[in-house]
Amino acid sequence: MRILASLLTLLVAIEHIGILVLEMFFWDHPIGRRIFGMTPEVSAASATLAANQGLYNGFLAAGLFWGLASDSRDVRAFFLACIVIAGIFGGLTAKTSILLTQGLPALIALALTIFSSHEISRKSKA
């Protein structure tokens, strides 16, 4: 269970690096406009805001990589919970698919992380 939690956490971190790249470097580019369904005018006008969002996604990924490298379930759980909350907010305010593409994988990874930590503490008490 612990390995599965770590693998899914790694995938969520990689996803957020991908979001960083899209929002920081490809927002005002044909690739970004196609992915996000924007006109050139909209993407140009919002490129600075998107770059800021991309940077935040990078910080979330960095937190997950930190949690994985330090083997800290608390750090991973914190950053996964942040992503779940951001996914819910984004799904309610921006695009509903964010709930599935960002919120759900983070929620599953969070549940597995929490479950694996309880599993380990039960084994150590036995």
Summarised one tens digit per residue, pLDDT across range 10-34 is 999 999 999 999 999 999 999 999 9
In angstroms, the CA 95 to CA 76 distance is: 25
Q: Is residue 125 part of a domain?
A: no
Q: Is residue 95 part of a domain?
A: yes
Residue 126 in this model has a pLDDT that exceeds 60: no
Output the average pLDDT for the chain: 94
Q: Is residue 54 part of a domain?
A: yes
Number of domains in the chain: 1
Contact 107, 91 (CB under 8 A): no
Domain ranges, residue 114: 2-120
Q: Is residue 88 part of a domain?
A: yes
User: E strand or H helix at 96, and its extent?
Assistant: none
Contact 63, 79 (CB under 8 A): yes
Q: Is residue 126 part of a domain?
A: no
As given in the structure block, the two tokens for residue 60 are: 């979330």
**pTM of the predicted structure, to 2 decimals:** 0.90
Q: Is residue 32 part of a domain?
A: yes
